[in-house]
């Protein structure tokens, strides 16, 4: 059965130097590239906000302005250029859509089902927000879910957020794995 790689929000604003930089965010490039080569389907989400999104500080939200649709910060990280992406899903497009989950008001579940995907392998940014929400929703949608620990990084607003997010994803039914083991499985089977 086809396995899909879901690359969550690997965008310039979440990489070092970006508006909402995630520490080590660019270090996921190599594992993401390895996984994209090895898996059958690649779907990427983008955080894709209007300039006055409710999550921005000026609107009373928790975040600095980030991933405004059409800006360089919202572009995929340069490491994504070498990856063949089958579908792109934009979330948080409306002012009042949180958009942490790639499944929120999107076609993501249908895109995966159309391709007969049974297992969703999740990497990207950030562990404690969009990766967490997307992995938990993928479980709820009935997919087998594997979160790749070396292909994610956390914002860690509060110490322990990353660890708690991993525990939450596990509790929802996700398995936690390492990219090298997954790639070895894919090439030996």
Question: Rounded to a whole number, what is the distance in angstroms from the first to the last CA of the chain?
Answer: 12
Q: Which two tokens stand for residue 33?
A: 């590239």
Backbone angles phi, psi at 161, to 5 degrees: -60, -40
**Under rule CB under 5 A, residue 9 binds Zn ion:** no
77 vs 120: CA distance, rounded Å: 21
144 vs 138: CA distance, rounded Å: 8
36 makes contact, choosing from ligand VGL, Zn ion, none, with CB < 5 to 8 Å by partner type, with none
Shortest separation between residue 14's beta carbon and ligand VGL, angstroms: 6
Q: Is the peptide bond before 126 cis (omega within 30 degrees of 0)?
A: yes
Per-residue binding letters, 53-92, with ligand VGL (x by CB under 6 A)? --x-------x-----------------------------
**Under rule CB under 5 A, residue 47 binds Zn ion:** yes
Q: Which two tokens stand for residue 131?
A: 């990766």
Which residues, numbered 118-137, are part of the site for ligand VGL (CB under 6 A)? 125-126, 129-130
Which residues, numbered 28-47, are part of the site for ligand VGL (CB under 6 A)? 47
Question: Which residues of the chain form contacts with ligand VGL (CB under 6 A)?
Answer: 9, 47, 55, 63, 125-126, 129-130
């Amino acid at each position: 059965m086809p396995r899909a790689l879901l690359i969550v929000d690997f965008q310039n604003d979440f990489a070092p130097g970006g508006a909402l930089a995630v520490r080590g965010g660019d270090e996921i490039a190599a594992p993401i590239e390895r996984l994209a080569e090895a898996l059958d389907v690649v779907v990427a989400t983008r955080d894709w906000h209007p300039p006055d999104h409710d999550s921005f500080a000026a609107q009373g939200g928790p975040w600095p302005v980030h991933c405004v649709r059409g800006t360089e910060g919202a572009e995929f990280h340069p490491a994504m250029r070498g990856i063949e992406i089958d579908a792109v899903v934009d979330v948080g497009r409306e002012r009042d859509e949180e958009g942490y989950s790639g499944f929120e008001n999107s076609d993501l579940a249908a895109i995966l089902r159309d391709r007969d995907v049974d297992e969703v392998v999740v990497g990207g940014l950030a562990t404690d927000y969009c990766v967490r929400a997307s992995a938990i929703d993928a479980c709820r949608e009935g997919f087998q879910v594997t979160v790749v620990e070396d292909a994610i990084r956390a914002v860690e607003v509060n110490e322990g957020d990353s660890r708690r997010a991993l525990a939450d994803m596990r509790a929802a039914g996700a398995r936690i794995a390492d990219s090298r083991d997954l790639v070895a499985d894919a090439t030996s089977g």
